[in-house]
Amino acid sequence: MSLEDLYQDVILEHYRSPRHKGRLARPTVSQRGDNPLCGDELELDLAVEDGRIRQVGFEARGCSISVASASMMASLVLGRTLGEAEGLVARFKAMLREGREDPELGDAQALVGVHRFPVRVKCATLAWTTLEAATAALEEAAGRGGPAEG
């Protein structure tokens, strides 16, 4: 099996059985993201305690790459601090820009091939830009001293 086939299998597996699918009962922040080009949507919930992501949940309506990517992102950031999560978003974007694998990204590494298909880059990044917006909203709310709704 080639590496490309292996990656294809990882993507399909996350699409068919997304990890952390479902909204949280008591999120610290809820963030909506969409891809206006195709109408795909994502609702992301994070429960954050002491600056660390304790729970993550999402509902996604979209193509296989956008749903798989949300599942991979959710698995990767669970248990991380907000700063670590932001660092992973930057690494993921760099991987898609440069087309170079990054072992720090876990299963999300399987999306490296999207680099060659510019129209799909937006599909792959939707979950990650939504996460970025959620952490930004939380940081802004912390600055104001209250919880955030996105």
Q: Contact residues for ligand FES (CB under 6 A)?
A: 35, 38, 40, 62-63, 65-66, 123, 126
The encoded tokens of residue 23 equal 């909204």
Give least dist CB 24 to ligand FES, A.
22
Reported residue count of the chain is: 150
Q: Between 35 and 81, name the residue whose CB sits nearer to ligand FES.
A: 35
The residue nearest ligand FES at its CB is 123
SS3 state at 109: helix
Q: Between 35 and 75, name the residue whose CB sits nearer to ligand FES.
A: 35
Q: Between 12 and 79, name the residue whose CB sits nearer to ligand FES.
A: 12
Q: Between 25 and 119, name the residue whose CB sits nearer to ligand FES.
A: 119
* CA 25 from centre of chain: 19
DSSP-H helix ranges across the chain: 3-16, 64-77, 82-98, 118-144
Q: Which residues contact 120 (CB under 8 A, 6 or more apart)?
A: 65, 114
The CA distance from 24 to 2, in Å, is 38
Q: Between 114 and 137, name the residue whose CB sits nearer to ligand FES.
A: 114
Q: Would you tell me how many other CB atoms lie within 10 Å of the CB of residue 22?
A: 10
